Amino acid sequence: MAAYGLYTHIASNKFRSMLLLGGLFLLVYVMVFAGALLAEVALNSNRPFDDYLTLAAHDLVKAFPFATIGAAAWIVIAYFFHQNIIDAVTGGHDVTRQEQPRLYNLLENLCISRGIPMPKLKIVDSPALNAFATGLDRSQYAISVTTGLMNALNDREMEAVLGHELTHIRNGDVQLLVIAVVIAGVIGFFAELFFRIFFNSNWSFGGGSRSSSSSSDGDKKGGSAFAIVLLAIALIGLAWGLSLVVRFALSRSRELLADAGSVELTKDPDAMISALRKIEGRGELPGATSAVMEMCIDNPREGFADLFATHPSVDSRVKALVKYAGGRDPGPLPLPGSGAEAGDGGGPSADSSPDTRPEAPHAGPWGSSPQPAPSPAGPIPGPWGRR
The string of pLDDT tens digits covering residues 99-120 is 999 999 999 999 998 888 999 9
Confidence of residue 208 (pLDDT cuts 50, 70, 90): very low
The pLDDT of residue 203: 54
Most confident of 9-13, 147-151, 177-181, 363-367: 147-151
Give 363's contacts (C-beta < 8 A, 6+ positions apart): 369, 370, 372
**Is the C-alpha dihedral spanning 150, 152, 157, 161 positive or negative?**
negative
For 214, which DSSP code?
A: G
User: Is pTM beyond 0.95 here?
Assistant: no
Q: Are 137 and 159 in contact (CB under 8 A)?
A: no
pLDDT in tens, 64-76: 898 888 878 877 8
φ and ψ at residue 46, rounded to 5 degrees: -120, 30
3-state secondary structure 99-132: CCHHHHHHHHHHHHHHCCCCCEEEEECCCCCCEE
pLDDT in tens, 195-207: 776 666 655 554 4
For 206, which DSSP code?
A: S
Q: Are 24 and 71 in contact (CB under 8 A)?
A: yes
Higher-scoring residue by pLDDT: 18, 240: 240
φ and ψ at residue 302, rounded to 5 degrees: -125, 145
Higher-scoring residue by pLDDT: 198, 324: 324
Confidence of residue 359 (pLDDT cuts 50, 70, 90): very low
Q: Are 264 and 113 in contact (CB under 8 A)?
A: no
pLDDT higher than 80, residue 322: yes
Report the alpha-carbon distance of residue 118 to residue 105 in Å, rounded.
Answer: 11
Catalytic residues: 165
Least confident of 58-72, 95-109, 261-275, 367-381: 367-381
